[in-house]
A and B are shown apart, each in its own frame.
Chain A
Amino acid sequence: QVQLVESGGGVVQPGRSLRLSCAASGFTFNIYAIHWVRQAPGKGLEWVAVISSDGSNKFYADSVKGRFTISRDNSQNTLFLQMNSLRAEDTAVYYCARDGTSATPSYYFDYWGQGTLVTVSS
C-alpha cells in the first residue's frame, strides 16, 4: 500500500534552518510529482511546493519562495524540503502528499503522510 512517512521536524529558532524528509513506499516513486502541504496549529491547509517526477521542475508558494527548496532522490524514494530563514509563521505540521496523477502534475493530493511538526520559536 502507498505510504509516505515524514521526518525531521522539531523546534528551531527564527532565522535558522531545518531539513524535512519524506520516505515513500508502495508505489513507483519516480513517476509521480510530490508536494509539501502545511497546516498551522488549529488552522487550514496551505500548499507549499511541488517537484516533478524527475526533479527537473519545482514550484513554490509565494510565502516560501527564496527560502525553501524542494528536492528528491529517486534512487532512495525520498523527498526533501530544505527550509532556511525560518519564521514564526512557518510553524506548522508539514505533510508530503502524492500528486493525484502520474507524469504531469495535476495538483490534487491522493495520498498523504502523517505529517511532521515544525515549531519556530526562540
Chain B
Amino acid sequence: EIVLTQSPGTLPLSPGERATLSCRASQSVSSSHLAWYQQKPGQAPRLLVYGASSRATGIPDRFSGSGSGTDFTLTISRLEPEDFAVYYCQQFGSSPTFGPGTKVDIK
C-alpha cells in the first residue's frame, strides 16, 4: 500500500497570503494518479485537482497542483476567506489511499 504523508499538519495563514501544501508518497506515484480535495466542516470533500496539476471543473485558478514521483504540492496563490479548510491528497495508482490532511487555519 502506498502511504501518503502531508505537511505541515496545520498551516496558520492570513487571507491574501500564499499557501504551500506538501504531499509525499512512500513510493513513486504516476503524476496522472494524484488528486487533491478540500473539505470544510460538516461537508463532503470537493475535488480540486486531478492528474497532479489539472484543475477540476469550477475550481478557481488560484489553486494549482504540481509535482512528480514521490513529491507533490498544492499551492493556493492568495487565500480567500472560503479557502480555510482541510486539504487531502490522494493517490490512485494502486489501491486508493489518502493522506492525513493539512488544515489551513486563520492566523
Contact = CB atoms under 8 A, between A and B. Distances in A.
A95 to B, nearest CB: 6
A113 B88 contact: no
A109 B98 contact: no
A45 interface: yes
B44 A45 contact: no
Interface string A100-112: 1000001111111
A61 B95 contact: yes
Given A108-B35, A109-B45, A45 B95 contact: no
Interface residues of B, number: 21
Contact of B92 (A62, A107, A111): A107
B67 interface: no
Contacts of B56: 110
Nearest to B44: A112
A106 B54 CA distance: 14
A49 B101 CA distance: 21
Contacts of B46: 112
22 contacts: A44-B99, A44-B100, A44-B101, A45-B37, A45-B88, A45-B98, A61-B95, A62-B95, A95-B44, A95-B45, A106-B50, A108-B47, A108-B50, A108-B92, A109-B45, A109-B47, A110-B47, A110-B57, A111-B47, A112-B44, A112-B45, A114-B44
Interface of B: 33, 35, 37, 43-47, 50, 56-57, 88, 90, 92, 95-101
Question: Which 7 A/B pairs are nearest by Cβ-Cβ distance?
Answer: A107-B92, A112-B44, A47-B96, A108-B35, A45-B98, A108-B50, A110-B47
